[in-house]
Amino acid sequence: MDLFHIVSEDRIKKAYENGEFDNLPGYGKPLPIDDLAGVPEELRMAYKLLKNSGYTEEEGHLRRELTTIEDLMRKCDDPEERERLRRKLNEKLLRFNQMMSKRGVKTNSSIFKNYEGLISLG
């Protein structure tokens, strides 16, 4: 054990003995059911980190959809289909922007830099 670990363990023991943990919210109550119960144990920590940092499954899904639509647009030769994909991309980007703005995150990622290029080309 390193010194930091020893010191922190000692402080936790003293706080427990002094009753400093007795008035914590939820003291003596069962822990809430983990919403990641269906996730394999080796992936739970990664999911918790993502969730605690504000990353959601919906955000990940939208990012994948945006990337897929952009790839389809690059490979599309039909002007009508390309226009349909562009409208769909605009809808997804709007939804993504709204989601990010609610979290207070600036949306200056590469996805939107690519989008600027599509607007000027379109």
- What string of DSSP letters covers 75-99? H---HHHHHHHHHHHHHHHHHHHHH
Cα–Cα distance for residue pair 24/52, rounded to 1 Å: 21
pLDDT for 87: 93
pLDDT for 12: 93
**68 pLDDT more than 90:** yes
Nearest CA-CA partner of 101 in 113, 110, 93, 91: 93
The stretch 72-92 carries a mean pLDDT of 92
pLDDT for 59: 83
pLDDT for 17: 93
Could you give phi then psi for residue 46, rounded to 5 degrees? Answer: -65, -45
Amino acid at 72: L
The stretch 118-122 carries a mean pLDDT of 51
* pLDDT, mean over the chain: 82
pLDDT for 122: 47
Could you give phi then psi for residue 33, rounded to 5 degrees? Answer: -65, 135
Top-confidence residue, 69 or 37: 69
Show me where the domains of the chain are located.
57-121
pLDDT digits (tens, 9 = 90+) for 1-50: 688 899 999 999 999 999 988 888 888 888 777 677 788 889 888 888 88
What would you measure as the largest C-alpha separation in the chain, in angstroms?
74
Q: How confident is the model at residue 80 (pLDDT cuts 50, 70, 90)?
A: very high
